Structure 1
Amino acid sequence: MEVMLSIDGLEKSFKDKKVLHNISFDVRKGEIMAILGPNGAGKSTTIRNIMGIMYPDAGSITFHKYGGKEIPRHKIGYLPEERGLYKNVKVMDILLYLADLKDYPLDKAKERILMYLKKFDLEGKEKVSIEELSKGMGQKVQFIGSILHEPELLILDEPFSGLDPVSQELFKEEIRSLADQGTAILLSSHQMNLVEEMCDRLFMIQKGHKVIYGTLDEVKTEYANFKCTINGKNQLHDLEAIVDVERVEQHDNSATLYLSRDVNPSKWLRLLPEHLVINELKINRVSLHEIFIDIATGKNLLQEAGASNA
């Protein structure tokens, strides 16, 4: 796929503290790329450099072969984590203002605003001021403002924060639709279940350094293989003695067995001792949430079971 945004060797310091260390990744046309990391990891600094809110000390940012101050930012949509719209301005007026800032034709913008208001269950709200809307409604308006001008690159910083499940589904459907139409999407979120469900590739940053970069399958294959959860009252030493079990986490009558790399699950299941108490059994790959927690807390337990992708 065509590379729309390329980040190469990005570095940034604030006074004596270096917050980005040689950060490199790309975002391709028609893909949803996740940028992940705990608070303070450097995600927001990276995004602000891409948006030209600040500029890196070293490295390059290229969009459509343009770099630095030459990047055509009217072709980029941005939903910041810190929401903020003029509260005493009507919905239609603020959205037309945002479209005008992106040099988008206002007649076409008005048509698209009415279409999106209907799609996001805000039909008839165009003359309502922002301060009269609920928090969720306001978030929908700001999301509309980020996609109204048909951006080629869309940057979404915590787009699902504070949304109810129905609104989350609306956002997910629209984000997928935009990617299907060729929009390159860079998405930052702490909701790992949604990232795992939606994203094609991911880049994880920790303390300003890259720790993960690749597709979800590549990350899971590199990080760890499978885990098996057994519900039943068993002795810890019996579980630890099972072949190809690297580590066991036991809570009451439930135990999670983390398996060795390259284990074949179907063959491994046949080797389970007959005396084990199994009321329920589930075997699957380690989740992105578990990988995120493992890295963010510095435990590196999963890396010990698999292979480092740092």
Structure 2
Amino acid sequence: MSEQIVETRLDGKMKAIPDLQYDGSSIDVLYDYHEEAIKWYENHLGWKVEQKEDWKVDPRVVQGKMTHMGYGAWLVSYIANERLPFHFAERGTVDSNVRLCFKARDLDKAHSGFSTNGIRVSDIYDGPGGHRYFDAWVTLEGIKFTFQNELENSLVAFPHCDNFRDTCVFIGVSNLEKSVEWYKHFVGMEVESEYIEDGYVIMSLGVNHHPDGKSKWILVTLPENAYVGKVDGAVRPMCFIHNRDEFFEYHRFLKANGVEVGEIGGFTGRGMSMFHFYDLDGNRFNVSCFV
């Protein structure tokens, strides 16, 4: 990757990156398992269907399904005759180091309940902000989520999950200082607070449809034995760009600076378009726009 950031003209002004705003997450689900996945989230997490439709994520899709389960989380499934440039996920390999984190009102009870129901969980461990956490591999597809306990006056705390702003996105990185600078320069994240010695930094982006909102992105130092490399996980935190021209310019800007960028997919003439790129450790970042 080039050390020098190439400026590009966006909306008549010289700037490197547009205003990216967090817009919830999509969860890639196998098409034949879509209905079962809905039931799983309803039964085990208490999520409810808020919107359900047959929707094709790309004109090359033969059949498609999308279900909004609340909290900005969309289950997305499709059948296509070719590999699409955006909508694909690796399964049965290594876990992504990008994961959603939800608050559990009673962490020990949630951990015990998952284990009793045959859901694979990690041990409870200490993490950012003095919280206790555990990881769980949810649904039959083994999609990794993280759960956090309540802690008064926490640095990384967030409200109960009434909407998607109440989630944190954790990103595991091998070099915290380099990654913080990378996300500042290429994504436009702002540093909220730094705890380098404790192995994490709290960063933020805006929130779509909420001008004063801030989404939290926690960069965490990976353990020494953690896998580092490009992973296309099933969970995709999405960021939205409102300006059509900025969306396409941003894609060109990233490529010009040596960032590995996927092709633009979706309805690039008119409709939802998307692309993804990878950070220094192969973590996948996802961007969308209505064009």
With normalisation by structure 1, the TM-score equals: 0.29
More strand by percentage: 2
Larger radius of gyration: 1
Q: TM-score, normalised by structure 2?
A: 0.30
